[in-house]
Amino acid sequence: MTRAERARRIGAILDRLYPTPPIPLHHGNAFQLLVAVVLSAQTTDAQVNRVTPALFRRAPIAEKLAKMSETEILKLIRSCGLAAGKARRLKQLAQMLVDEHGGKVPAGMDALEKLPGVGHKTASVVMNQAFGEPAFPVDTHIHRLARRWRLSKAKDVGQTERDLKKLFPPEEWGKRHLQMIYFGREHCPARNHDGTECPICSWAS
Determine whether 121 is an active site residue: yes
Domain boundary among 88, 104, 131: 131
User: Which of 91, 121, 163, 175 is labelled catalytic?
Assistant: 121
Range of the domain at 180: 3-21+135-204
146-to-28, 37, 111 alpha-carbon distances in Å = 31, 22, 28
Question: 70, 86 in Cβ contact below 8 A?
Answer: no
Asked if 12 and 56 sit in the same domain, the reply is: no
In this prediction, residue 37 carries a pLDDT of: 97
Asked if 14 and 34 sit in the same domain, the reply is: no
Asked if 41 and 71 sit in the same domain, the reply is: yes
Burial of 126 (0-12, 13-18, 19+ CB in 10 A): buried
The mean pLDDT value for 70-88 works out to 96
Q: Report which of 45, 39, 43, 42 is spatially closest to residue 65, judged by C-alpha positions.
A: 39
Is the predicted pLDDT of residue 205 greater than 90, yes or no?
A: no
User: Which of 86, 91, 139, 163 is labelled catalytic?
Assistant: 139
| Whether the predicted model's global pTM rises above the 0.75 cut | yes
Spatial separation of the C-alpha atoms in residues 171 and 112, rounded to whole Å: 21
Asked if 9 and 36 sit in the same domain, the reply is: no
Asked if 190 and 119 sit in the same domain, the reply is: no
Asked if 36 and 121 sit in the same domain, the reply is: yes
Spatial separation of the C-alpha atoms in residues 12 and 55, rounded to whole Å: 39
Asked if 144 and 114 sit in the same domain, the reply is: no
pLDDT digits (tens, 9 = 90+) for 114-173: 999 999 999 999 999 999 999 999 999 999 999 999 999 999 999 999 999 999 999 999
Asked if 108 and 181 sit in the same domain, the reply is: no
pLDDT digits (tens, 9 = 90+) for 22-64: 999 999 999 999 999 999 998 999 999 999 999 999 999 999 9
Residue 189 sits in a domain of what CATH number?
Answer: 1.10.1670.10
Domain boundary among 131, 151, 182: 131
Burial of 186 (0-12, 13-18, 19+ CB in 10 A): exposed
Instruction: Count structural domains, the chain.
Output: 2
Spatial separation of the C-alpha atoms in residues 138 and 59, rounded to whole Å: 29
Asked if 104 and 64 sit in the same domain, the reply is: yes
Is the predicted pLDDT of residue 194 greater than 90, yes or no?
A: no
Of the candidate ranges 35-44, 178-187, 189-198, the one whose mean pLDDT is the lowest = 189-198
Residue 106 sits in a domain of what CATH number?
Answer: 1.10.340.30
Asked if 49 and 69 sit in the same domain, the reply is: yes
Domain boundary among 131, 150, 180: 131
Q: Report which of 205, 202, 177, 192 is spatially closest to residue 14, judged by C-alpha positions.
A: 177
Asked if 167 and 114 sit in the same domain, the reply is: no
Cα three-residue angle 65-177-193, rounded to 5 degrees: 110
